């Protein structure tokens, strides 16, 4: 596969036509009457060592993508090839063997750490599950992981409540690193942290990536932070990808009208930047159980055309390395 620079780099993660529908049952007989199309036909690749940012507003399906590709949900359809294996097709035991390669850091370190387990137990649990280390080897590995994420070894026997939010997130990161993964899904890892602590955690994630050659899917609604950490960025809206572009291209010149509006809505800490043109979108995001006909952004798009209400735009290359799903950017070739 050729990337934007024309250099060959094998993708570590290849997601094709991923769909994740949650069925809706109604009535006395609980009949299947519809689906919440949380993720609807999403495709992207992540090269080894790369960070792909996945941004969008709440309910757009970005976290569901993260969970579905690690098969924390059973995807409705699609292929997810991680390091050579099609994850949705793996048998249970093969999937278990595959787990060490792919790990996850969750948003809320309060909810994702068992309050009755010590830090050493939490970080050591994946080692118990997937390795045959002796007690001493295991403890050595736990200390090594604590050093790596900047936690004091002396705190190994403390419980999560004794730690601050930023430190708890470090525990979650150490647990994700325990089995030497190649790919980590970071699902809003800094959203629950204070501004002054966010930078500490992001710097740690970047250091670990450099040192261990990790590949990240970084899911976030914080567009400024994604600009900092990601190499490429995918913008999701209502279960679909609106645009995937290299970071600098997207932030300098967003092509999809939604990406443009989203970027313009971010408040910047600069009182003199008020002159910047702000696009205020009208209305709310439609329900994913009943998405509009045609382009799913057509109800709010400031540049909507008649064709947008009829035909769903496909994600297609709009410029080298840039994929956009928009009729304005990729006009339908006239058939007449």
Binding site for another protein (CB under 8 A): 57-58, 164, 166, 194-200, 202-203, 206, 221, 223-225, 227-228, 251, 261-274, 278, 280-281, 284-285
Considering beta carbons, is residue 103 or 169 the nearer one to another protein?
Answer: 169
The Cβ of residue 82 has, within 10 Å, a number of other Cβ atoms equal to: 23
**Least distance to another protein from the beta carbon of 261, Å?**
6
* 260-265, long-range: CB < 8 A, 24+ apart: 261/302, 262/55, 262/56, 262/57, 262/223, 262/235, 263/223
Phi–psi pair at 217, nearest 5 degrees: -105, 110
**Least distance to another protein from the beta carbon of 83, Å?**
29
Considering beta carbons, is residue 134 or 277 the nearer one to another protein?
Answer: 277
Considering beta carbons, is residue 15 or 229 the nearer one to another protein?
Answer: 229
**Least distance to another protein from the beta carbon of 296, Å?**
15
**Least distance to another protein from the beta carbon of 291, Å?**
16
Q: Can you tell me the distance from the alpha carbon of 60 to that of 54, in angstroms, rounded to the nearest whole number?
A: 10
Considering beta carbons, is residue 178 or 259 the nearer one to another protein?
Answer: 259
Considering beta carbons, is residue 105 or 225 the nearer one to another protein?
Answer: 225
The Cα-based distances of 71 to 235, 241, 260, 284 in angstroms read 22, 20, 32, 30
**Least distance to another protein from the beta carbon of 95, Å?**
34
The Cβ of residue 147 has, within 10 Å, a number of other Cβ atoms equal to: 12
**Least distance to another protein from the beta carbon of 150, Å?**
10
List the end-to-end C-alpha distance of the chain, in Å, as a whole number.
34
**Least distance to another protein from the beta carbon of 263, Å?**
7
Buried b (16+ CB within 10 A) or exposed e, 301-325: beebeeebeeebbebeebeebbbbb
Considering beta carbons, is residue 183 or 218 the nearer one to another protein?
Answer: 218
Q: Can you tell me the distance from the alpha carbon of 330 to that of 317, in angstroms, rounded to the nearest whole number?
A: 8
Phi–psi pair at 150, nearest 5 degrees: 75, 35
Considering beta carbons, is residue 213 or 273 the nearer one to another protein?
Answer: 273
Considering beta carbons, is residue 69 or 204 the nearer one to another protein?
Answer: 204
**Least distance to another protein from the beta carbon of 144, Å?**
22
């Amino acid at each position: 596969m050729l990337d934007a620079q024309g250099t060959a780099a094998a993708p570590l993660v290849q997601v094709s036509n991923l769909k994740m529908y949650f069925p809706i049952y109604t009535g006395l007989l609980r009949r299947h009457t519809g689906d919440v199309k949380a993720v609807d036909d999403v495709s992207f690749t992540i090269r080894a060592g790369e960070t792909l940012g996945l941004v969008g507003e709440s309910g757009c399906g970005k976290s569901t993508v993260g969970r579905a590709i690690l098969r924390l949900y059973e995807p409705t359809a699609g292929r997810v090839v991680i390091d050579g294996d099609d994850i949705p097709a793996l048998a249970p035991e093969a999937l278990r063997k595959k787990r060490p390669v792919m790990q996850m850091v969750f948003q809320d370190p309060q909810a994702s750490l068992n309050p009755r387990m010590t830090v050493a137990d939490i970080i050591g649990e994946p080692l118990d599950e997937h390795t045959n280390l002796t007690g001493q080897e295991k403890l050595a590995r736990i200390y090594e992981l604590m050093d790596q994420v900047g936690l004091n070894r002396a705190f190994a026997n403390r419980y999560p409540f004794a730690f601050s939010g930023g430190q708890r997130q470090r525990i979650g990161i150490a647990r994700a690193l325990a089995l030497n993964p190649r790919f980590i899904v970071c699902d809003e890892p800094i959203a629950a942290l204070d501004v002054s602590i966010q930078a500490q955690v992001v710097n740690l994630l970047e250091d670990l990536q450099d040192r261990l050659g990790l590949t990240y899917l970084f899911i976030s609604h914080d567009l400024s932070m994604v600009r900092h950490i990601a190499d490429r960025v995918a913008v999701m809206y209502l279960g679909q990808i609106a645009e995937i572009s290299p970071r600098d291209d997207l932030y300098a010149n967003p092509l999809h009208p939604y990406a443009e509006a989203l970027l313009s809505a971010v408040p910047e800490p600069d009182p003199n930047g008020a002159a910047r043109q702000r696009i205020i979108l009208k209305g709310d995001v439609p329900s994913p159980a009943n998405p509009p006909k045609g382009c799913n952004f057509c109800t709010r798009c400031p540049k909507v055309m008649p064709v947008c209400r009829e035909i769903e735009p496909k994600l297609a290359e709009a410029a080298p390395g840039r994929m956009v799903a928009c009729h304005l950017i990729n006009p339908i070739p006239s058939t007449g």
